[in-house]
Amino acid sequence: MPKLNFSAGPGALPEPVLQAARDAIEEIPELGISVLGVSHRSDWFRQVVLECEQHVRALLQLPDSTHVLLLQGGSSLQFSMIPMLLLRGRKQPAEYLDTGYWSAMAIPEARHEGAVRVLWSGREKGYRRLPSDAELAFSEQASYLHYVSNETVEGLQFKRVLGHDGVPRVSDMSSDFLSGPIDVERFDLIYAHSQKNLGPAGVTLVVLKDQLLEHAPSDLPTILDYRPHAERHSIYNTPPVFAIYAVLLVLRWLRFEVGGLTEMSAINSAKAERLYRCIDADPDFYQPRAATSDRSKMNAVFNLPTPDLQERFIREAEQAGLLGLTGHRSLGGVRVSLYNGVTLEAVETLCGFMDAFRERGGLGTC
């Protein structure tokens, strides 16, 4: 039986994409050479970047006043580039939500550039839920608002847009970008690295409004300034050509095979419903971590009654060809990631294993 990949990142990619990537490593037919050796200054690669941009624009129905950038340094570099652009030299603090592991990684980087006000933190309670509107007193004067739309480690996902429309809204969507439609007009800057929903590791998509660049500080290192990347359509220095080509294959798949973000969202909802139904069948056995209303459609995190059962669950799942289920090193437990590349059939197979494992109380073998 083929192995199934539920890894939290780099995550599973659609089979047709993997096939096309394999072919491209052999040879790009138009060029007669491998994608691994194509110059980033070639017309062919320039077209690849432009086509990526077009697909992102079409999928999200982006207005012309936005840039779509393909950058390096992962989402972690965005933790720094954003406050360099929007906080350096500003008097008003930036507002951050501390809703999980990745929020907590972003906040200290912003503090290097200026004042940060943490509006709400779930840390003391172990990041098991997200704040309600009543708990969030946003300022209308903040330099910007930053939050993580989907906390990948804890499996918490916002189902609404936060903040004041007058304050630049910035969101780390690394683990749920293009998993469904987004109200893009309301975001000033969205970032998402490729390795969860969009492709292999190596490239980070940034969608930002033009006007954000108007007041960029003049002392930014060139490579950490969004403007040269925007002016040169993401070919400022040597970009990761293969990773970007793989992202293009995913974007084509999403647009033309899946049919777009509404369709993708329906598939993702069906997968998540199926998995949570299986978890909820006996919440004393598969013990979900996140508050029910804040559960993520992308990452489901749960514990088993004992460390021994947990270990056995992961080991037996691996033997059954179900890979990537170990929880984040900061939390332990089990984490199932249901990115776009994971099929409903794969989730059915996993649920079949989970039901059987539960019915025998983790004892014996299937």
Ligand X SMILES: *Cc1c(COP(=O)(O)O)cnc(C)c1O
Catalytic residues: 102, 172, 196
Minimum CB–partner distance for residue 29 and ligand X (Å): 32
In degrees and rounded to multiples of 5, residue 139 shows phi and psi of -90, 150
Pairing state between β 204-209 and 189-193: antiparallel
Contacts of 22 (CB under 8 A, 6+ apart): none
Q: Residues 325, 340: contact at Cβ < 8 Å?
A: no
Q: Minimum distance from CB of 81 to ligand X (Å)? A: 12
CA distances from 165 to 7, 148, 162, 315 (A): 35, 17, 9, 48
Query: Residues, the chain, total?
Result: 366
At closest approach, how far in Å is the CB of 172 from ligand X? 5
What would the two tokens of residue 113 be?
A: 């550039």
Task: Determine the residue with CB nearest ligand X.
Answer: 74
8 A C-beta contact, residue 56 and residue 207: yes
**Minimum CB–partner distance for residue 188 and ligand X (Å):** 18
Residue ranges that bind ligand X, judged by CB under 6 A: 9, 74-76, 102, 148, 152, 172, 174-175, 193
DSSP letters for 227-274: HHHHHTTT-SS---HHHHHHHHHHHHIIIIII-SHHHHHHHHHHHHHH
Q: Residue holding tokens 């590791």?
A: 201
Distance of closest approach, residue 167 Cβ to ligand X, in angstroms: 21
Rank residues 131 and 200 by Cβ distance to ligand X and give the closer one: 200
Q: What minimum distance in Å lies between the beta carbon of 211 and ligand X?
A: 25
- Residue among 9 and 168 whose Cβ is closer to ligand X: 9
Q: How far is the CB of 144 from ligand X (least distance, A)?
A: 17
Could you tell me the CA-to-CA distances from 244 to 51, 83, 202, 273 in Å, in that order? 11, 26, 8, 32
Q: Is omega for the bond preceding 10 within 30 degrees of 0, making it cis?
A: yes
Residue (8 or 48) nearer to ligand X, CB:
8
Q: How far is CA 145 from the centre of its chain?
A: 18
Q: Tokens 């033009």 identify what position? A: 210
254-259 long-range contacts (CB < 8 A, ≥24 apart) are 254/55, 254/59, 254/178, 254/340, 255/55, 255/58, 255/59, 257/14, 257/16, 258/340
Q: Which is nearer to ligand X, 8 or 86 (CB)?
A: 8
Nearer CB in complex with ligand X: 52/148: 148
Cβ proximity to ligand X, 56 vs 148, nearer residue: 148
User: How crowded is residue 185: how many other Cβ atoms within 10 Å of its Cβ?
Assistant: 14
Minimum CB distance to ligand X smaller for 75 or for 143: 75
